[in-house]
Amino acid sequence: MRDLSRASGISLAGLYHYLGSKERLLYLIQKHTFSTILAQLKSRLNGLTDPQERIRVFIQNHLEYFVANQSGLKVLAHEDEALKNGFNSEIAAIKREYYRICLGLMDDLKREHKLDFNSRTAVMSLFGMINWIYTWYNPRHDGTAKDLAQQMSEIILSGVGCGAAGRNVECSNNAVAKRRKKAAHGASRGLASVPRVRPRRGERKFSNSGGVAHLNAHAARK
């Protein structure tokens, strides 16, 4: 409070007169923050129907606000459990609504594309990403809030939905696994089909697999 008094030019007695306590000041900060970001989110989601686009909007709305207000995000992260004496109930209700909106977005995505993932886990993982940016975010390396939102959206959507570009794309994990299995199977069959050549007198005998390894090592040295 003393730091705030010096920065604002208001006497310490004046601050306590208008605010009452440090706890009420924290309550007002949290209420303003959560109410603002929730109202902005509802406005931006209005009229959107595509589940992926709605999740992208959720992420971008959150990041745009907190990239511009990183000190506020730091306060919320470290003082999350500090409110008592009835102050926390109103804030908790706003936070529950925010969480439920995100949970609903994940459920909509799951139903729309017939996906199989735990919506709560996806939501909490997303919050883990977007709530701690103040500890590492650097615009010179990470770009704008919009850039960051795009990258995080791809990570989340690719993780739960096999690619954010849409369901026309085959699930990348399964596709990669199938290609690797097919390639390994073809390579093993091709290797097995290499004819065995009986060595001439005086030549050193080696197996097909050993010969291939030797040739590869020889080629690498060239």
pLDDT tens per residue across span 151-187: 999 999 999 875 444 444 444 444 445 555 555 655 5
Residue extents of the structural domains in the chain: 22-161
Strands (E), the chain: none
pLDDT tier at 134, thresholds 50, 70, 90: confident
Q: Residue 10, Cβ neighbours under 10 Å: how many?
A: 14
**How big, in percent rounded to 5, are the helix, strand and coil portions of the chain?**
75, 0, 25
Tell me the pLDDT tens digit for each residue of 72-96: 777 777 776 777 777 888 888 999 9
Could you tell me which CATH class the domain 22-161 is placed in?
mainly alpha
For residue 144, give both structure tokens.
Answer: 């704008």
Q: What angle do CA 1, 27, 4 make, to 5 degrees?
A: 20
